[in-house]
Amino acid sequence: MASNPLRVPFAKLKHAASLMVLAALMPCLARAADAEIAEIVVTGSSQTYHQHSIASAMKSATALIDTPQAVQVITRDQIEDQAMQGVSDAVRYMPGVGMAQGEGHRNAPIMRGVMSTANLFVDGMRDDVEYFRDLYNVDRVEALSGPNAMIFGLGGGGGVLNRVTRQADGAVGAELTITGGSWNQRRATADLKSAINPNLALRVTGLSETADSFRDGVKAERSGINPTLLARWDDHSSVRLSLEHFTYEMVTDRGIPSLSGRPIETAPSTFFGGPSLSPTDMTVNVGEVVFDHQRGSAHLHSTTRFGTYDKAYQNLYPGAVSANGSSVALSAYANATTRENLLHQTDLTWTLENGRTSHDLLAGIELGRQVTDNRRTTGYFSDLGPNITTLNVPVSRPTVAPALTFRPSSSDADNHGVAQSSAVYVQDQVRLNARWIAVLGLRHDQFQMRLRNNRNGSAIATEDRLWSPRAGLIYKPQPNLSLYASYSQSYLPRAGDQLASLTLANSALQPEAFRNQEIGIKWDLRPNLALTLATYRLDRTNVAITSPIDPTQLILVDGQSSSGLELGLNGTLRSGWTVAGGYAYQDGEITQTQSATAKAGARLAQLPKQSLSLWNRVEVTSHLALGLGLLHRSAQFTSTDNSVTLPGYSRVDAAIYWRINPHLKAQLNIENLFDVGYFASAHNNNNITPGSPRALKLTLSAAL
């Protein structure tokens, strides 16, 4: 790698009407289905894509059918069956959840039309640093749609993505997985589990990977190790220790530019810019201590997490193409960020019974301190002159390695920031009777931010005190069927996703607000098969724009609105046939003009109206299984100016599984089986990522 010089109306009536019609038919359909399903005895594979309950949505293990919000879960079995390796792979089969390009150096999820790096969590704890997350130590990935401030705190306006890691649990065994794939991919993961004695358990997961890419000059190296230790000293109390060291080096790839409203016509492999001048280096070191104590129905869960994150990257990337399509402008910058996160949560849950009514109660606190240093410098093309920041190169030969000098420009950031937060929250899940459940919660956050500009010595301090309510009502006409309505909201302070957006101009403004209203149906067709349907409206308010009357002032407006419908199906359809997938219809727009490139009525960026996914695993014999998947995305705009369109596409994936013996299995995954050309994501009009051509992954897994 090259060295870096820096270290309240609901969703549209037609959706609601469709939902209510289906709700009315559900009991009848359920009786008919029960009559048919009773004849099926599920045998065969133990693979499951259905998750019955999770703890993250309510801070205690709660059945998804009793959770009043849309939740999608990618289980470990699905991760392995589809050879998923990063978070971007996991969201691919989550309709309504997308992933922006993130400038080629970070995960950038899009949920319900809101792109944010503040909506990433691990084991329910904030993980808001900008980097690419791997799945080597992950048991499942959860997408909880809609604002979730009551549970997760600030940010996450469109929802949150939560990784649940693999932990020591007393089980004994070992698994080694080796993968070889297209473009020289070589990847090995290990999962070692040991019970040292009845009260002490150890688990270690590890990763080593090197890979090239279908993109010219793009390559990556990753490694990680995550030991966890579980210690119990009686039947009521335990402590868990976890350490993770994860690092990677890769090329920052910002894709290709556009021409005449579409991605420029070029080979998918063409690199616009300089791969040798675009390195990214990331090191993550995280330690965690978790204490649990159970007495009767009361459970105390306390987590302290400390992490250091050291990231440096630079990139030589494309801008606009000339009007005649002959040349493209290249620019460069470098950025170095270090962060220390110290986060703590303590939750107390307990159950109170009162005749036919019961209360599942939650009371909790959260404390956080995040220290961030970030420094950006601009790339100057020193062979052209001392102050030249743009290089025009032929579109026919856009991969270059010019002489570059990096130094601060007048607008480059050089900041030291300290964010401190504290929160208290309470929640009650009230079981009114066998059919009705109400969820009521309230959270109060105090957020303080101090930012120092190292270039001029100026300092800014701000403080926000915020209330975040949550309310839900669930009706269960029968135990395996629920209908719900919910309301939730979240806030994002002016410090922004990465705690670096605070300025003198915006420091006095109220935080952005996100408000979600949702109705839905959850139907457990059988214990291992779930059908879900949700419709929602999400409004984003308090967006800061320049005043049309006084350009020196900022004002707040209602910024955007999105609505849609999400349908999901996960589990065992019949003996030997496991499915995971769904459909999403999304409609979102800018509701008030914010700038010359974000005008009222414009469609939200990277929000396909329709997205569909369906993955099937079918057992052919006791040793042989086949997988087949379909992905579809309709056309979408790269940015809110709506001037560049990413065409819609459909892609087919496939897999073959062979169980050689009880301890050894092999699988071949084929992504983009028919080698369809498409565009996967974007950052803006001129940073567009081509989709991968046909790719193969051959995996061998040995388990003891």
Contact 647, 677 (CB under 8 A): no
- Higher-confidence residue of 670 and 117: namely 670
Q: What is the pLDDT of residues 644-653, one digit of tens each?
A: 999 999 999 9
Domain for residue 588, yes or no? yes
- Cβ-contact 177, 209 below 8 angstroms: no
- Distances from the Cα of 674 to the Cα of 69, 654, 677, 678, 694, angstroms: 36, 10, 9, 12, 7
Query: Quick one: pLDDT at residue 679?
Result: 98
Mean pLDDT of the chain: 92
Average pLDDT over residues 41-53: 68
Question: Using one digit for the tens of pLDDT, what is the confidence trace for 162-181?
Answer: 999 999 999 999 999 999 99
For 90-115, the pLDDT digits (tens) are 999 998 999 999 999 999 999 999 99
- Report the amino acid identity of residue 288: E
E-strand stretches of 355-480: 357-380, 391-394, 405-407, 414-431, 436-453, 459-478
Q: Distance between CA 84 and CA 699 in Å, rounded? A: 12
Q: Mean pLDDT check: name the lowest of 223-232, 352-361, 393-402, 582-591.
A: 352-361
Whether the pLDDT of residue 604 is over 80: the answer is yes
Which pLDDT does position 10 carry in this prediction? 33
| pLDDT surpassing 60 at residue 704 | yes
Confidence class of residue 548 from pLDDT cuts 50, 70 and 90? confident
| Predicted local distance difference test score (pLDDT) of residue 549 | 83
Confidence of residue 27 (pLDDT cuts 50, 70, 90): very low
User: How many other β-carbons are positioned within 10 Å of the β-carbon of residue 456?
Assistant: 8
pLDDT on residue 556: 86
Mean pLDDT to the nearest integer, 14-19: 37
Alpha helices in 143-226 (DSSP H): 149-152
Does 454 score more than 70 pLDDT? yes
In 3D, which of 200, 245, 248 has the Cα closest to residue 227? Answer: 245
The contacts of residue 462 (CB under 8 Å, 6+ apart) are: 448, 449, 493, 494, 495, 502, 507, 508
Question: For 463-593, where are the alpha helices, taking DSSP H only?
Answer: none
Neighbouring C-alpha atoms within 13 Å toward the C-beta of 383? 5
When pLDDT is averaged across residues 318-331 and rounded to a whole number, the result is 97
CA distances from 85 to 88, 228, 332 (A): 8, 21, 29
For residue 99, give the 3-state DSSP assignment: strand
Check whether 552 has a pLDDT greater than 90. Answer: no
- Give 254-276 pLDDT, tens digit per residue: 999 999 999 999 999 999 999 99
C-alpha to C-alpha distance for 367 and 304, rounded to whole angstroms: 9
pLDDT given for residue 298 in this prediction: 97
With respect to residue 496, please indicate whether it lies within any of the assigned structural domains.
yes
350 close to 429: Cβ distance less than 8 angstroms: no
Q: Which residue has the higher pLDDT, 46 or 488?
A: 488
Q: Which residues constitute the domain of residue 92?
A: 13-703
Residue 7, domain member (yes or no): no
Task: Calculate what percentage of the chain has a pLDDT beyond 90.
Answer: 88
In a domain, 231, yes or no: yes
Q: What is the pLDDT of residue 354?
A: 86
Give me the percent of the chain exceeding a pLDDT of 70: 93
The stretch 484-511 carries a mean pLDDT of 93
Q: Is residue 8 part of a domain?
A: no
Please state the rounded mean pLDDT for residues 397-418: 96
Residue 546 has pLDDT above 50, yes or no: yes
The answer to whether position 220 is within a domain reads: yes
Confidence of residue 41 (pLDDT cuts 50, 70, 90): very low
Domain count along the chain: 1
Backbone angles phi, psi at 359, to 5 degrees: -125, 125
Does 3 reside within a domain? no
Mean pLDDT (whole number) for 52-70: 96
Residue 6 falls within a domain, yes or no? Answer: no
Cα gap 308→340, rounded to integer Å: 5
* Local structure of 34: helix, strand or coil: helix
**What CATH number should be reported for the domain holding residue 420?**
2.40.170.20
Query: Does the structure show a pLDDT above 60 at 35?
Result: no
What is the average per-residue pLDDT within 339-361?
95
**What pLDDT is attached to residue 46?**
61
| pLDDT of amino acid 356 | 85
Sign of CA dihedral 541, 105, 312, 124: positive
Question: How far apart are the C-alpha atoms of 172 and 375, rounded to whole Å?
Answer: 46
SS (H, E, C) 576-630: CEEEEEEEEEEEEEECCCCECCECCCCECCCCCCEEEEEEEEEECCCCEEEEEEE
16-30, 138-152, 474-488, 507-521, range with the lowest pLDDT = 16-30
